[in-house]
Amino acid sequence: MLHMDNIIPDHLQTLDIDHPVWERFFMVAPLVLVGTREPDGGFDLAPKHMAMPMSWQNHYGFVCAPHHRTYQNLRREGGFTVSFPSPKQIVLTSLAADARAEDGSKPALQALPTFPSKTVDGILVKNAYLYLECELHRIIDDLGDNSLIIGRIVAAHVDRDAMRSAERDDQDLIHHAPLLAYLYPGRFATIEESFSFPFPSGFTR
């Protein structure tokens, strides 16, 4: 039986939950570029960090606001792409967050080299290490001002240098193909060192 004290430890600061808590500490998150088709037939790319697999099967999701073009595009078109940039692409990734011009376009996106996706009508960012092509599976609205977008992966592509294999040590792979992490709010990190997790004997997911 677990032993539990009946007081909050002195070293903890209780936060005011009348306001969002996320600005009060750092948290490790991915940083991806979500691609969607615009009403005029062009494409948009937007950085997202509230993003993760949504099941042990092939579902991927991210948080977005209904007033964002990404939300409107994917609800209309029924699909989206996800590019996982490398640490070397941090400047290009930040350009995707640039404000739109008066005509609704994002001129900064012209600096991002892209290529067409294979299954979903969309684009992918060159030199990323992982790509997902998703059909819209479900939208969960009313999470405050936001929504959870869940897609079903219909195609996936990974750089061979970043692909796990039985012949290669995982730490060696991550060292030679580092991962980009976003440290909300406003910082990023390069992950190039890792350690085996100490799972208990007989552990299964």
> Which domains, from first to last, does the chain contain?
26-191 (2.30.110.10)
Is residue 96 within 8 Å of residue 108, measured between CB atoms? yes
Across all residues in the chain, what is the average pLDDT? 94
Q: Identify the residue with better confidence: 204 or 2.
A: 204
pTM: 0.93
Is residue 84 within 8 Å of residue 45, measured between CB atoms? no
Is residue 95 within 8 Å of residue 175, measured between CB atoms? no
What digits encode the pLDDT tens for the residues 57-96?
A: 999 999 999 999 999 999 999 999 999 999 999 999 999 9
* Cα distance between residue 73 and residue 21, in whole Å: 29
User: Reading across the β-sheet that carries 179-184, which strands appear in turn?
Assistant: 27-29, 179-184, 187-191
* Cα distance between residue 113 and residue 89, in whole Å: 11
Model confidence at 6: pLDDT above 90: no
Which tokens hold the place of 93? 């990734």
Model confidence at 110: pLDDT above 90: no
* Cα distance between residue 55 and residue 59, in whole Å: 6
Model confidence at 180: pLDDT above 70: yes
Q: Please give the share of the chain, as a percent, with pLDDT higher than 70.
A: 99
Q: Which has the minimum average pLDDT: 83-92, 107-116, 143-152, 175-184?
A: 107-116
* Cα distance between residue 34 and residue 64, in whole Å: 10
Is residue 43 within 8 Å of residue 36, measured between CB atoms? yes
Confidence of residue 2 (pLDDT cuts 50, 70, 90): low
Is residue 120 within 8 Å of residue 132, measured between CB atoms? no
